[in-house]
Structure 1
Amino acid sequence: MTVVRYRNLLLFVFLAAIWGSAFMAIKAGLEFFPPVLFAALRYDIAAVFMLAYAVYVTDHWLPRTRAEWWLVVVGSVLLIAGYHIFLFVGETQTTSAAAAVIISLSPILTTTFARALLPSQRLTAAGVAGMVIALLGVAILARPDPANLLTEDVVAKGLVFLAAVSFSFGSVLTRRIDARLPIETMEAWSMLGGAILMHAVSLALPNESLGDIVWTNEGLLALAYLSLVASAIGFLIYFDLLERLGPVEINLVSYVAPIFAALSGFLFLQEGLDRYTVAGFLVIFTGFLLLKGRDIRTELLGTTQRDGSTD
């Protein structure tokens, strides 16, 4: 294995660790912050750092055309605001590990939406089977009781599922917009727009105000970790690996992150890990392999060949 492969592997594991432990940080911070306001404050801070990074790495740090601004609107509404509102509210009543497992549906949902909405994509029989199996995994994890579907736990997991749907649908819509905006610029302005939208939603909700925040060292640490480590540093590593590994391999981070979510939730919050969460994860991952197995094999073979040519 070359030095480059070791570097990529270490960065991949580090990214999975900080994104997985972010679910624990969200759960910890929700003890002190109203959920939507917590998400908005996270991206107030992250947007400043990401915008500064965009200014540093590209001359195209400000959207210029109507299509580019539409790209930012989709990112703001679906990738940032929609995703994080559902996720943060959902995590008030579910564990870090369960939330991470449900969010691991995102690559599957993204592929499904892409093959439904993009003319160049086609969903195979194996793809349909993978999608159905993955949804079965969510059902195993949520364990809805037909006699009482509106328990807090089931509703919370449903909200986290909607977070995955929002992110996946937004990812596909951005691909339908004909705009050549650098990904750093798109992320920065989407974070800023999403933060503004989340502040507006927070203001409209009862029991959500700055006065409802309990200012503690633990809460501030959770906010700093989410803003600076999981968002700012995490996305910088993601951009680097996306360029080096491609979108197929980098999607696998969604299936390593739940391991770190479970570990950090156990170590810092004493959260348990039940057999339904483990079973749900295994079923969802099986669905992912059915849906993306051919792409993964192609990408891994291509990477192996590229590594074999340089030592």
Structure 2
Amino acid sequence: MLFSILAICWGTSFVAIEIGLEYVPPLLFAGLRYGVAGLIVFGYAAVVTDRLRPVDRTEWLSVGVAGLFLIAFYHALLYVGELYVPGAIAATVASTAPILTAAFAGAILPRERLSSAGVVGLVLGLIGVVAVVRPSPAGLDTELLLGAGLVFGAAIAFAVGTVLARPLDAGLPLETLQAWAMLVGAAVLLVGAPLRGESVAAIDVTPTALLSFTYLTLVSSVFAFLLYFQLLDRSGPTQVALVGYAEPAVAIGVSWVLLGYVVDSLTILGLVTILAGFAVIKRRRLARVLERRPEMLRRPTAVIRTLRNPTETRRSSPAEARTDGGVPRDTEAVSPESSAD
């Protein structure tokens, strides 16, 4: 049940962004969203953790990497990309982030080389993107290529940030790290907005714009953040990462219901191919998840555990923090299977 709710929260965010961009310039939109969300999460962190600020160089680096790559760069490219492509297409292209994370980890981290199966998974992911970008002869349009390219760049930024965060292993509570990352990312986005020529005067304050902003801030950012960590505690990162492949399906359905947008059959094929690439890379961990499934079903639900126990401080590295409303953070995505097939 929680898995489905989380997929809905994040899948609908792509459509909410598409709708909101009709009224708010992209960088201002993203910056204001994460500024407000960061303040709310910061208040939550004050209740459930014992530390509200980084204390050493490693922790500040963790915040910087998460804020720059996982909030600012990712969302800048995603929001600008959605000026040119529908939310359903953006969600599908962005779902390559876990595959790209494994690829960059294999290239950057000495002990995490990509196996032959990992290479196959990466190729499948890229083939899936090509199918999405060119679902028909109209897919050769410049705007579609530009938008899909920007969203793919967002997935790259997210993957690079995940890999760079892995060796830092900061001791910050996850809630504190999340709050600071949101605030740092929001500051970068708001500084970048006027450099792109965006102005507050260009914001068209309408009921639709307010609804989109409120939904993205409170539901897709704050509420989904709390759900994510409950699922992470309950099911583990590999299973939670599968939410990322339910998001495009949700976005496709919501786009059809609200906007009348119907994706091409090749887009569906592209999504399935990307999912197949992820399954190839994570095949052993997915098998272990299936083996543990009966045990996990017997565990008691802990939806408000941290709220009932505010003295418990969860610590982790930045690579374990979910810091966006689109693509799921898979901590194991930066640890591809290293043994050769």
Matched, 1:275 2:258: no
Of residues 256, 276, 284, the one that matches 1:266 is: 256
Of residues 281, 284, 290, the one that matches 2:280 is: 290
The alignment partner of 2:53 has SS state of coil
> 2:313 is matched with which residue?
none
Pick the structure with more helix per residue.
1
The normalised TM-score by structure 2 is 0.84
Counterpart-to-counterpart distance in 2, 1:144 and 1:262:
14
The alignment partner of 1:248 has SS state of helix
Counterpart-to-counterpart distance in 2, 1:248 and 1:124:
18
| Contact 1:22 1:226 (C-alpha < 8 Å) held by counterparts | yes
> 2:50 is matched with which residue?
59
Q: In the TM superposition, what whole-angstrom CA distance separates every residue of 1:259-304 from its partner, at most 9, and x where no partner exists?
A: 1101111111222211121111011111111111111111221343
The alignment partner of 1:181 has SS state of coil
Rate the CA distance shift 1:114–1:129 in 2: closer, same or farther, 3 A. Answer: same
Matched, 1:210 2:200: yes
The alignment partner of 2:83 has SS state of coil
Q: In the TM superposition, what whole-angstrom CA distance separates every residue of 1:155-203 from its partner, at most 9, and x where no partner exists?
A: 1000000111111111111111142112211111010000000001101
Counterpart-to-counterpart distance in 2, 1:145 and 1:20:
24
- Supply the RMSD in Å over aligned alpha carbons: 2.0
Matched, 1:172 2:163: yes
Counterpart-to-counterpart distance in 2, 1:188 and 1:303:
32
Matched, 1:22 2:18: no
Shift of 1:308: 5.7
Rate the CA distance shift 1:124–1:297 in 2: closer, same or farther, 3 A. Answer: same
Following TM superposition, where does structure 1 have runs of at least 4 consecutive aligned residues deviating by more than 6 angstroms?
A: none
Rate the CA distance shift 1:100–1:188 in 2: closer, same or farther, 3 A. Answer: same
Rate the CA distance shift 1:285–1:222 in 2: closer, same or farther, 3 A. Answer: same
Rate the CA distance shift 1:310–1:36 in 2: closer, same or farther, 3 A. Answer: closer
Rate the CA distance shift 1:299–1:32 in 2: closer, same or farther, 3 A. Answer: same
Matched, 1:46 2:40: no
The count of corresponding residues between Structure 1 and Structure 2 is 300
- Partner amino acid, structure 1, of 2:292: G
The alignment partner of 2:285 has SS state of helix
Of residues 209, 212, 215, the one that matches 1:222 is: 212
Rate the CA distance shift 1:135–1:238 in 2: closer, same or farther, 3 A. Answer: same
Shift of 1:104: 0.8
Matches within 5 A, 1:162-201: 162-201=153-192
Identity level (%): 43
Unmatched runs of 5 consecutive residues or more in structure 1: 1-9
- Partner amino acid, structure 2, of 1:290: V
Counterpart-to-counterpart distance in 2, 1:158 and 1:310:
43
Of residues 222, 230, 245, the one that matches 1:232 is: 222
Of residues 136, 145, 160, the one that matches 2:151 is: 160
